[in-house]
Amino acid sequence: MKIAIWIIGILVALGIPVAMYFIQRARQQKIDRSGVVLYASVIAMEPMKVFGKVTPDMVKMTLWLQEPDKEAREVMLKTRIPANQKIEAGMRIPVVVDPKNPKRVFPATEESVKRIVLTGPRRERRIMQSGRGAGVRPPSGYQPPQPRGRRG
């Protein structure tokens, strides 16, 4: 009888974090499809502790977020960043804001970045737009001919 109780206790102790992970992941994917995608400015970044050890790839970022027709505000984002990616204060990163709960903010995926909403001053919007490739005119002047197939 005691062994059965211990086994059930261990399964519950392991099952709850796994279930919470999958629930959070499903919630993030749903918000990624329906949420508002914006650029947020990084104010500060600090490594997080995981199981009591500081890990450089898990960070807590403080972001400055400007939603359309709303006041600018600070938000916290806990995320994992690749070791080769360098994020510094002042950079702008895309995030997804939950339309039902604006306090929930997630990093944007490649698919959600395609529907980004640009906010901020006109000059910044133009810079960000040209960086994405939207609204960029082809260069004027002489263009060398493009190669077409093989010759020979």
Question: What is the per-residue pLDDT for 136?
Answer: 45
Mean pLDDT of 138-142: 50
Question: What is the per-residue pLDDT for 22?
Answer: 94
> Residue 15: CB partners within 8 Å, gap ≥ 6?
none
Question: What is the per-residue pLDDT for 43?
Answer: 92
Residue 119's nearest CA partner among 64, 43, 38, 62 is 38
* pLDDT of residue 150 exceeding 60: no
Question: What is the per-residue pLDDT for 19?
Answer: 92
* 22 or 142, higher pLDDT: 22
Q: Does domain 35-132 have CATH number 2.40.50?
A: yes
pTM score of the predicted model = 0.64
pLDDT in tens, 27-68: 888 888 888 888 888 999 888 887 888 887 888 999 988 887
